[in-house]
Amino acid sequence: MIEVQNLTKTYGGARGIDDISFNVEKGEIIGFLGPNGAGKTTTMRILTCFMPATSGSASIAGFDVFEDSLNVRKRLGYLPETVPLYTDMQVPVYLRYVAGLKGIPWRQINSRVGEVMEKVGLTHMAHKFIAELSKGYRQRVGLAQALINDPQVLVLDEPTVGLDPKQIIEIRSLIKGLQEERTIILSSHILPEVSMVCQRVIIIDEGRIKAMDTPENLMAQIHSTCRVRTRISGPKDSVLEGLRAIDGITKADSVDNTSNSTNGFDVEFIDGFDGSHLIARLAAEKRWDLHELTLAKMSLEDIFIKIVTDEQVKAEDGK
Amino acid sequence: MRNFFFILTKEFRSYFNSPIAFVTITIFSVLTGYYFYNIFAGFGTLSFQAQTYPMIASRYGALNVTEFVIRPFIGTISMVMLIMLPMLTMRSFSEEKKSGTIELLLTYPVRDGEVVLGKFAGCMVIFCTMLMISFPCVLLIEYFGEPEWGVIITGYLGLLLMGSAFISLGVFMSSLSENQIVAAVLTFACLLIFSLVNYSVGFVGESMAKVLEYLSFNYHMRNFVKGVIDTSDIIYYLLFTVFFLFSSMRSLESKRWRA
C-alpha cells in the first residue's frame, strides 16, 4: 500500500531524514517511534505530498507522491501534529467544507458529516465554534476531517499528544476501531501507545531507521536476560547470600525501600533461564516470608533506549 | 470548479465570521460617503454661485453633474480602494501559513489554481459588496440631477477591473509571506508605485514615458471616467490580474518542489 524507497530530505545543509525505506501492507497499523526531531514529521509530510523529498521515492496505492500527488491526496487522510483548524468556523460547517474539497458528492455531504461526527464523538459539539473547543475535542475534529473521505491511508502525526489520559484511551480505541481495510501510519514518542495500537514499529532516530519489527519481536530480541524483582522479609545479608548461592543467578542486589519492613532485591539470571521458582524454594526452606516475585519485563521504552544508546556506543567506538 | 466554489464560500464566510468584512466595508462606505457629500455639496454651492454671478458660470462653461460629481467621485473610490483592498487581501494566504492550516489545505485533493482562484473570488465578492454600497450615492445624483449613465457604467466597470488587479496583486503578496503586515505593506507599496508611476513621465525620454504611462493604473482609468471603453485598458487590467494570479499559483506550487 505504501512504498518508501531511499527517502532523503535535507534542509539546507542539515539532514532531516536519511535513506529511509519501508513498506506497509494494506490494513496494517504501523508506528513511527522516535525522540523529538528524529524525522517522523518530515517523513509524514513527504508521504502526504506537503513537502518534496530531496531524493528517493515514495508511493501510496501505486501512485507516486511527487508525480501523481492529486491521486495520492484523494486516498489520504492526514492529521498534522499541531492540528491546524479554522478556528472561526463551526464544527459541522468546517467538516462540510473539507468534505466538499475531498470530493464527497453534494447529496452525501450532510449525511457523511453526521456519520463522522458521531464516530469521533462530536455530535454534542455541533453548535460550537472550533475556537471554543478544548484540545481533546479539536483533536477529534482533526481526526474527523481526516476520516471524512473514508481514506484508504491514514497518516496521524502524534494523535494523542497533549490529551488527558481518558482522552488518550478514547482516541486510541478509536484508531484501533478504524483499522478495517485501512492502512494507518501514526507517529508517537509515547512508547506504550505504539505497542498497544500498532502491529509494526519503526524506530527512527536522527533521520535513520534503527529498527523495524513487531513490538513482540522487538521485546523478544532484547528479552534474553531474565530479571526478577523480589521482596523477602528476612535478614538482608543472609538473604543476599542465599540468593547469590543459587545456581544460575548471575547478579543479586538489594534495593532500598526504607518504608517497608521487607527487603527488596533485584535478581538477574543467566541468559534464557527463568529461575523464579528457586527463589521461592529458598524462602520456603529458610522460613522467610516471600512478599513479591515479579518478572521484570523489558518495556518498549527499555528497548528503545537500548537501541538508541547502542548505536551511540557503536558510533563512539568507531571513532 | 466544485473546489473553487467550496473555497470561495469558505473565504466569504471567514470574512464575515471575523470583523474584517464589517470593518472594511463600513470604513469604505463612510469614507466614500464623506467624500461624496463634499463633492456634491461643493457642486451645489458652485451652481448657486453661477446662478447669481454670470462671471463664474462663464469661467466653468456649462456646469455638468457628470463632470463635476461623478468623475471625481469615481476617482475618490479608486483612492479609498488603494488603502482598503490590501487590508482585505493580506490575510488570504498569510493567515493560513501562520496558523498552519495551509498544511491541510495543500494535502487535500485540490489544484493550486482552484485555491488561488477561490481566494481571489472571495475577496472580489467583498469588494463588489463595497462598490454596491457606494452606489446609492449615484442614485442620489439621479434623483437631483441628470447624470450620464454611460459614464457611470463605464466608471464602475473601470473600478471593478482596477479592483481585480489590486486584489490579484494582494493575493500574490500574501502568498509570499506568512506575516500579514508584510503582505499588506508590500501590496500597498506596489499599488502606490503602479498608481504614481506616470508622475515621472515629464522627466524621461519619449519612449520611456509611453511605457511608464502605460504601466500606470491612473492612466488606464482616464478613459473609463470619460465614458470610453478602450480595449487596451481592459486588456491592461485583465493582464495585470491574470499575471499575478498565475504568479500566486506558482508561488504556492513552489512549496512542492522547492527542497
Q: What is the CATH number for A48?
A: 3.40.50.300
Same domain as A228, residue A82: no
Distance (Å) from the alpha carbon of A158 to chain B's nearest alpha carbon: 15
Q: Which of A7, A41, A44, A50 to mutate to test the interface with B (most CBs of B within 10 A)?
A: A50
Domain containing residue A290: 224-296
Are the beta carbons of B217 and B239 closer than 8 angstroms? no
Same domain as A195, residue A64: yes
Question: Does residue A301 form part of some domain?
Answer: no
> Would you state the pLDDT for residue B59?
76
Q: Tell me phi and psi for residue B20, to 5 degrees.
A: -50, -55
Question: Does residue A211 form part of some domain?
Answer: yes
Same domain as A101, residue A183: yes
User: Which single residue is written with the C-alpha cell 463612510?
Assistant: B30
Same domain as A263, residue A171: no
Interface predicted TM-score (ipTM) over 0.90: no
> Would you state the pLDDT for residue B34?
95
In the chain, the amino acid numbered A102 is K
Which of A167, A195, A220 is the C-terminal boundary of a domain? A220
Q: Which residues contact A83 (CB under 8 A, 6 or more apart)?
A: A138, A139, A141, A142
Q: Which chain A residues touch B13 with a CB distance below 8 Å?
A: 89, 93
Q: Which residue of B has its CA nearest to A142?
A: B104
DSSP assignment of A245-276, as one string?
HSTTEEEEEEE--TTSSSEEEEEEESTT---H
DSSP assignment of A129-192, as one string?
BGGGS-HHHHHHHHHHHHHTT--SEEEEESTTTT--HHHHHHHHHHHHHT-TT-EEEEEES-HH
Out of A10, A66, A86, the one facing B101 most closely (by C-beta) is A86
pLDDT along chain B (259 residues), means of 10: 91 90 93 93 88 78 83 92 93 92 91 94 95 91 87 94 96 94 95 88 86 88 90 94 96 76
Question: Does residue A309 form part of some domain?
Answer: no
> Would you state the pLDDT for residue A308?
66
B41 by DSSP, 3-state: which?
helix
> Would you state the pLDDT for residue A142?
92
Question: Does residue A78 form part of some domain?
Answer: yes
B residues 110..129 contacting A (CB < 8 A): 110-111
Q: Which residues contact A303 (CB under 8 A, 6 or more apart)?
A: A218, A219, A221, A222
CA distance A263 to B124: 78
Same domain as A238, residue A185: no
Q: Which of B14, B99, B107 to mutate to test the interface with A (most CBs of A within 10 A)?
A: B107
Q: Tell me phi and psi for residue B135, to 5 degrees.
A: -70, -35
Same domain as A138, residue A103: yes
Q: Which chain A residues touch B106 with a CB distance below 8 Å?
A: 49-50
Say yes or no for a CB contact (<8 Å) between B100 and A82.
yes
Same domain as A282, residue A166: no
Per-residue pLDDT of chain A (319 residues; tens, 9 = 90+): 889 988 888 887 777 888 889 998 888 889 888 877 788 888 998 999 888 888 888 999 889 988 888 899 999 999 998 899 999 899 999 999 999 999 899 999 999 999 999 888 888 888 899 999 988 889 889 999 999 988 989 999 988 877 778 878 888 888 888 777 789 998 887 777 777 788 888 888 888 888 888 877 776 665 556 778 888 887 878 888 888 888 878 778 887 665 566 778 888 777 667 778 888 888 888 888 888 888 776 555 666 666 666 655 555 555 4
Same domain as A254, residue A214: no
CA distance A25 to B87: 49
Same domain as A150, residue A30: yes
Same domain as A159, residue A24: yes
CATH code at A274?
A: 3.30.70.1560
Q: Which chain A residues touch B10 with a CB distance below 8 Å?
A: 86, 89, 97
Q: What is the number of structural domains in chain A? A: 2
Say yes or no for a CB contact (<8 Å) between A10 and B259.
yes
In terms of Cα–Cα distance, which of A110, A111, A49 is closest to A75?
Answer: A49
Q: Tell me phi and psi for residue A65, to 5 degrees.
A: -70, -20
Give the tens place of pLDDT for each residue, A225-239: 677 888 888 787 888
Question: Does residue A319 form part of some domain?
Answer: no
Are the beta carbons of A3 and A47 closer than 8 angstroms? no
Same domain as A153, residue A216: yes
Same domain as A245, residue A286: yes
